[in-house]
Amino acid sequence: MVLPPFDPPNYFELRDWWQKYREGDIRRLILEVQTQRYALAELRTMSETVLRQAADDAPEMLQKGRTLPKLHRRIEAELRRGGRVYPESKAVHEDGKRRSRPWTGNKDDR
């Protein structure tokens, strides 16, 4: 199926729709959109790690036109298209920098 061009709903629109529409199917769609955005954000982090490792271990994989850089750019483009993934957080890391989610102290949280 080919989709027509459209502006994706942003985080705040999804939040408003969540409050406005109580129907199960609409809420399921909202949850699905947000779940996919969380997954894209996680994939972006993973691709950044892979790109850093490739730069050290196999720099030829980062040459123009190769799959890893293309994948990373595609993930970045989708995240930009959808806008903010997480709500603004008041959480502050121990180093004084803002974080997109509360820091629990686990090294896996970084």
Closest CA to 81 of 46, 49, 42, 33: 33
pLDDT score for 88: 63
Within-domain flag for 5: no
pLDDT score for 90: 54
Interior CA angle at 102 toward 96 and 104, to 5°? 95
Domain span at residue 63 reads 11-109
pTM of the model: 0.70
Fill in the DSSP letter of residue 64.
T
Token pair belonging to 31: 């949850």
pLDDT score for 103: 41
pLDDT score for 61: 85
Phi, psi of 22 (to 5 degrees): -100, -5
d(CA 88, CA 74): 24
Within-domain flag for 23: yes
pLDDT score for 104: 47
Within-domain flag for 58: yes
Within-domain flag for 50: yes
Within-domain flag for 38: yes
- Residue given tokens 């129907």 in the structure block: 23
pLDDT along the chain (110 residues), means of 10: 92 94 93 94 93 90 86 92 75 52 46
Within-domain flag for 4: no
Within-domain flag for 6: no
Q: Which residues pair with 98 in a beta bridge?
A: 92
Within-domain flag for 83: yes
State the total domains in the chain: 1
